């Protein structure tokens, strides 16, 4: 019996894993512009036709590779939990955010690739994917917090993060400044909110605690 040339789902999955793994390696070691489909095909030992069949454009392939890397490295530590009585809202929020941003400190090239991909025609897909994972955990943590403050917190933190990513991508700041700046931002926003409610957190921002300031 002649075997069909059509790949089984399992074979297709293994092929995609190999392809995406090659792209991740190239992004991290050589940068965004190094990812060219002919070179990806050569390293993955596959054909251009096979790549185009599953990923219509280069951007689609890079986005898929970034989504896979982020799921394994950035979002794997995101857990949903409620804020318990007496717990620090600042500490709880940073416990949610740190596992999302720390991988970028260890893999700065992937952060640059993410920032570049966000500007591509399909780049919003990356943002929405992250939002789908992080937003439910954040909302559960902020249940009971004033809705207007939640909206302001989201707007300010989102703007700060996007600005920091842009500054890093253009070489203005070190990658390690992103999380420390975000930490300070969250700390002072929470401190301001708690002061209006008559409760002020005594916890220092992590970057101050670790440096002894």
Question: CA 186, CA 184: separation in Å to the nearest integer?
Answer: 6
Residue 201: partners with Cβ closer than 8 Å, 6 or more residues away? 88, 89, 90, 187, 190, 191, 194
Cβ atoms of 35 and 26 within 8 Å: the answer is yes
pLDDT over 90 for what percent of the chain? 67
pLDDT of 74-108, one tens digit each? Answer: 998 888 889 888 889 999 999 999 999 999 999 99
Cβ atoms of 90 and 190 within 8 Å: the answer is yes
Write the DSSP assignment of 59-102 as a string of letters.
Answer: HHHHHHHHHHHHHHHTSTT----PPPTT--HHHHHHHHHHHHHH
Stretch among 3-12, 99-108, 170-179, 202-211 having the lowest mean pLDDT: 3-12
pLDDT for 14 equals 56
pLDDT of 19-54, one tens digit each? Answer: 999 999 999 999 999 999 999 999 999 999 999 999
For residue 6, give the 3-state DSSP assignment. coil
Q: Which of 75, 91, 73 is nearest to 137 (CA)?
A: 75
- Does residue 59 carry a pLDDT above 80? yes
pLDDT for 96 equals 93
Entry pTM: 0.79
Question: CA 100, CA 158: separation in Å to the nearest integer?
Answer: 14
- Does residue 3 carry a pLDDT above 60? no
115-123: long-range contacts at Cβ-Cβ below 8 A with a sequence spacing of 24 or more? 115/165, 115/166, 115/168, 115/169, 116/32, 116/169, 117/32, 117/59, 117/62, 117/63, 117/66, 120/59, 120/62, 120/63, 121/59, 122/59, 122/60, 122/63, 123/63
pLDDT for 169 equals 92
- Does residue 11 carry a pLDDT above 50? no
What average pLDDT does range 160-185 have in this prediction? 95
pLDDT for 57 equals 92
- Does residue 166 carry a pLDDT above 80? yes
pLDDT for 188 equals 96
pLDDT for 68 equals 94
Question: CA 123, CA 131: separation in Å to the nearest integer?
Answer: 13
- Does residue 201 carry a pLDDT above 80? no
Cβ atoms of 22 and 43 within 8 Å: the answer is yes
Classify each residue of 146-164 as buried b or exposed e, where b means 16 or more C-beta atoms within 10 Å of its C-beta.
eeebeeebeeebeebbeeb
């Amino acid at each position: 019996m002649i075997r069909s040339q059509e790949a089984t789902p399992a074979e297709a999955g293994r092929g995609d894993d190999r392809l995406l793994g090659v792209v991740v390696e190239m992004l991290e070691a050589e940068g965004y512009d190094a990812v060219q489909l002919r070179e990806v095909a050569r390293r993955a030992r596959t054909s251009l036709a096979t790549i185009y069949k599953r990923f219509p454009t280069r951007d689609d392939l890079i986005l898929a590779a970034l989504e896979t890397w982020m799921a394994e490295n950035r979002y794997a530590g995101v857990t949903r939990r409620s804020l318990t009585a007496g717990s620090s809202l600042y500490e709880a929020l940073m416990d949610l955010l740190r596992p999302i941003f720390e991988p970028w400190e260890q893999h700065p090239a992937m952060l640059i690739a993410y920032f570049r991909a966000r500007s591509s025609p399909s780049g919003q897909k990356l943002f929405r994917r992250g939002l789908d994972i992080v937003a439910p955990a954040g909302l559960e943590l902020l249940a009971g917090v004033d809705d207007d403050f939640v909206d302001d917190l989201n707007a300010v933190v989102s703007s700060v993060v996007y600005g920091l990513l842009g500054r890093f991508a253009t070489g203005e700041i070190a990658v390690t400044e992103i999380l420390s700046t975000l930490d300070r931002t969250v700390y002072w926003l929470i401190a301001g909110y708690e002061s209006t409610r008559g409760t002020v957190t005594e916890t220092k921002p992590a970057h101050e605690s670790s440096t002894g300031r």
